[in-house]
Amino acid sequence: MLEPQPDPHPRSLSVVIPLYQERDNIEPLLARIHQGLQIYLHPWELILVDDGSRDGTAQALFEQTARYGTHVRVIGFRRNFGQTAAMQAGFDAARGALIATLDGDLQNDPAEIPRLIDELLARDLDLLQGWRRDRQDALLLRKIPSRLANGLIARVTGVHLHDYGCSLKVYRSEVIKEIRLFGEMHRFIPVWVAGVTAPERIGETEVGHRARELGQSKYGISRTFRVLLDLLVAFFFLRFGARPGHFFGGIGLSFGLLGGLMMSWLAWVKFGLGTDIGDRPLFFVAILLLVASIQFLTTGVLAEIMTRTLFASGERTHHCISRQTDPEASDWKLEQRSHASAENAGRHEASRDHAAWSVASRDGLGHEQADRGQAIEPNANREEPG
């Protein structure tokens, strides 16, 4: 698969949205995104990733997006690989200098993305996380478990955010692309980002939240228990992900030291006092500790070898794409507002519409010229092959 070419524009934006069983939300989602990003006067693209939906979401995506232009890209999985894999596929396909994510349930407003980008750049952050302070969800099933989980995650990881579960986020592309997501890592993306950047470059801001109108929620109280298990994994990888030998080696050395002390004392009892130690429980405990020590040390060495092999390859992906729009035929979308010049302040001003600019990006960012007051559709001047 061809690697997407990054866009040199410092504010070029890729909006990544993972979708699963969201057929009814496709049409309003596309409309709200385009409406919300009308004020964003920089190149942007939309990447929609269907995570193996069985309700016709993928078909609806390809049908609906055809009306909007080639700045909208669709990626469909062969089966359900999970939200983490869908997000990773979107990050891999993204070409913007900035990447925004949100869910496809329309509970977050896409119109807030430009504000988040301005705040990210003004505060010089690498990740700006949304905070649903006035969350419109069930109290017992969603709000309380979420608050408990967020507090526990912040305490264990040291990354203090109020709302890890909010999907509305804005990243710098060069930072998020340093991370390879798999399993259920999407739950702790700010934690993983903290592993490649300074914690003070991760911030949060309040965002709006509305109740779901169409479709059904994919989250339940059982998710809270999975979060706790994932938290243990996240803690391990944060502390020892790049050096697992320190974890297993530390345990192995501790067991070996304790077993060695026990065996030394038993040797003094045996040879110094002449007392038989073969039937003493301490003798068997010492042997067990020494054997466990060797096993942990060996595991640490193997883990170090596997880690270095993984870092050296970096090629494996954790999803399989069945169908997608052609990345080579995709364009950027650029909204530009026309303003009357100061010299014509006293004259009658003709009303002007917003000009939609398409920016072709096959070999970089080439700007097509547009007449004022006229919208140019992507690839409008392209000749059909004979």
Token pair 């995506």: residue = 61
Rounded Cα distance between 60 and 214, Å, is 15
Between 149 and 288, where is the model more confident? 288
Rounded Cα distance between 320 and 317, Å, is 8
3-state secondary structure 162-207: CCCCCCCEEEEHHHHCCCCCCCCHHHHHHHHHHCCCCHHHEEEEEC
Token pair 């592993």: residue = 195
Pairing of strands 44-50, 72-77: parallel
User: What is residue 335's predicted lDDT score, i.e. its pLDDT?
Assistant: 61
Between 142 and 192, where is the model more confident? 192
Which residues fall within 8 angstroms of residue 206, CB to CB, at 6 or more apart? 130, 131, 133
Q: What percent of the chain has pLDDT over 90?
A: 29
Average pLDDT, stretch 153-173?
85
User: What is residue 195's predicted lDDT score, i.e. its pLDDT?
Assistant: 81
Residue pLDDT, tens place only, 268-278: 888 888 788 77
Q: Is the pLDDT of residue 231 over 50?
A: yes
User: What is residue 110's predicted lDDT score, i.e. its pLDDT?
Assistant: 92
Residue pLDDT, tens place only, 291-347: 999 999 999 898 888 877 766 665 555 555 666 776 666 666 766 554 434 344 344
Structure tokens at 66: 């055809």
First to last CA, the chain: 27
User: What is residue 221's predicted lDDT score, i.e. its pLDDT?
Assistant: 57
User: What is residue 44's predicted lDDT score, i.e. its pLDDT?
Assistant: 94
Burial status of residue 200 (CB atoms within 10 A of its CB: 0-12, 13-18, 19 or more): exposed
Average pLDDT of the residues of the chain: 77
Rounded Cα distance between 2 and 93, Å, is 9
Q: Is the pLDDT of residue 94 over 50?
A: yes
Strand locations in the chain (E): 13-19, 44-50, 72-77, 98-101, 127-131, 169-172, 202-206, 321-324, 331-336, 355-360, 366-367
Q: Decide: pTM greater than 0.75.
A: no
User: What is residue 92's predicted lDDT score, i.e. its pLDDT?
Assistant: 92
Which residues fall within 8 angstroms of residue 232, CB to CB, at 6 or more apart? none
DSSP string, 72-134: EEEEEESS---HHHHHHHHHHH--SSEEEE--TTS-S-GGGHHHHHHHHHHTT-SEEEEE-TT
285 pLDDT band, cuts 50/70/90, is very high
The CA-CA-CA angle for residues 86, 92, 96, to 5°, reads 115
Backbone angles phi, psi at 62, to 5 degrees: -65, -35
Structure tokens at 108: 């977050």
User: What is residue 212's predicted lDDT score, i.e. its pLDDT?
Assistant: 73
Rounded Cα distance between 140 and 220, Å, is 11
User: What is residue 344's predicted lDDT score, i.e. its pLDDT?
Assistant: 43
Rounded Cα distance between 232 and 238, Å, is 10
Report which of 333, 252, 371, 339 is spatially closest to residue 68, judged by C-alpha positions: 333
User: What is residue 350's predicted lDDT score, i.e. its pLDDT?
Assistant: 36
Residue pLDDT, tens place only, 43-87: 999 999 999 898 888 888 988 888 888 899 999 998 998 889 999
How much of the chain is helix, strand and coil, in % rounded to 5? 45, 15, 40
Q: Is the pLDDT of residue 279 over 50?
A: yes
User: What is residue 354's predicted lDDT score, i.e. its pLDDT?
Assistant: 35
Average pLDDT, stretch 230-235?
75
Window from 32-41, 42-51, 243-252, 324-333 with minimum mean pLDDT: 324-333
DSSP 325: -
How far apart, in Å, are the Cα atoms of 140 and each of 149, 172, 280? 13, 35, 55
Residue pLDDT, tens place only, 345-380: 344 433 333 333 333 333 443 333 333 333 333 344
Backbone angles phi, psi at 186, to 5 degrees: -65, -25
Q: 7-11, 18-22, 131-135: which has the highest mean pLDDT?
A: 18-22
* Residues 86/78, Cβ–Cβ less than 8 Å: no
User: What is residue 12's predicted lDDT score, i.e. its pLDDT?
Assistant: 93
Average pLDDT, stretch 92-120?
92
Q: Is the pLDDT of residue 385 over 90?
A: no
The 3-state DSSP class for residue 257 equals helix
Token pair 């080579």: residue = 328
* Residues 99/176, Cβ–Cβ less than 8 Å: yes
